[in-house]
Amino acid sequence: METLVWVVHIIVSVAVIGLVLLQHGKGADMGAAFGSGSSGSLFGATGSANFLSRSTAILATLFFLTSLGLAYFGLQQHKPDSVLDLTAAPAKSGQPAVPVPAQNSGSKAADIPQ
C-alpha cells in the first residue's frame, strides 16, 4: 500500500510541475484588457478559472493527501516510545532518572583555571 502511495505521489508531483510550467502569468494576458479576456477560460468570461488552473488545484490536493498518507506510513513504522517509558527505564537499571550535579567546593575562585 505504501508503494502505491509513493508511486501516485511521484506521478502527481511531476504532473503539478508540468502544469505549473505550462501556465502563463497574469502579465502575459495584456490582450484581456482589450476585450479578448474570455478566450482562455473554460466557462467563458464569468468562469472563475481555466482548465489548467483547475487541474493544478486538483493535483495539488492529491499531492497534499499523498503527503499525509506517507507521513502516516512513516509514523507507523517508527513509533516513538512513550515519555513514561523513557523516564522509567533508567530507574529500573539502578541509575537515577535525573543526573545529579557534581558537588562544588563553594569557592568561585577555585573553579577558574589559571
- In tens, the pLDDT along 30-47 reads 555 565 555 555 555 544
This prediction's pTM:
0.52
Q: What's the Cα-to-Cα distance from 13 to each of 19, 53, 74, rounded to whole Å? A: 10, 15, 19
Q: What's the rounded mean pLDDT across residues 19-33?
A: 71
Does pLDDT of 99 surpass 90? Answer: no
Spatial separation of the C-alpha atoms in residues 110 and 95, rounded to whole Å: 30
- In tens, the pLDDT along 40-69 reads 555 555 445 688 889 999 999 999 999 999
Query: 9: buried, middle or exposed (CB in 10 Å: 19+, 13-18, 0-12)?
Result: middle
Residue type at position 109: A
Check residue 63 and give its pLDDT. 96
When pLDDT is cut at 50, 70 and 90, the band that residue 17 belongs to is very high
